[in-house]
Amino acid sequence: MSFRCRIEEERWLRTAREVGRAGARAVFVRPERKRRRIMGRKYIDCREHPSESNCTVTIAADTESELLEAAVQHAVAVHGHQDTPEFRDQMRQGLKEGTPAR
C-alpha cells in the first residue's frame, strides 16, 4: 500500500469514528483506490540520426508532446536546426515507444 493510500485510509477511518461518536447515521463508502494507468514511455535517440557532433543524447518522456518539445529544444540549441512545423513533423516521426537501448 502506498503512502498516499495509507493517508486516505486513515482519513476515512477517522471520519467514520467521528460520525459514530456523534451518533449520526451515515453510510460511508470507501473511496476506490485509483489504479494508475501505466503508459508506455516514448523516446528519441540522437545516436540514430547521423550528425557531425556524434551526439549521444537520448530523451524520454511519458507524453509525445512533452518529448517533442524537449527534443526540438535540443535540436535547435545543440544541432542548429530551425524550429518549423515541417521539422516538428520530422521529429514526431522519429519518436519511438519503450525505453532506449543502452
pLDDT tens for residues 41-70? 899 998 888 778 888 999 999 999 999 999
More confident residue, 35 or 87: 87
> Tell me: the pLDDT tens digits for 5-40?
555 666 655 655 565 554 544 444 555 555 444 568
Instruction: Give strand ranges (E) for 17-79.
Output: 42-45, 58-61
> Which helix (H) or strand (E) element contains residue 97?
strand 96-97
Q: How far is CA 96 from the centre of its chain?
A: 15
| pLDDT(76) > 60 | yes
Q: What is the pTM of this model?
A: 0.59
Output the pLDDT for position 87.
94
What pLDDT was estimated at residue 19? 54
Long-range contacts formed by 56-65: CB under 8 A, 24+ apart:
58/100, 60/99, 60/100, 63/39, 64/92, 64/95
**In the block, residue with C-alpha cell 557532433:** 53
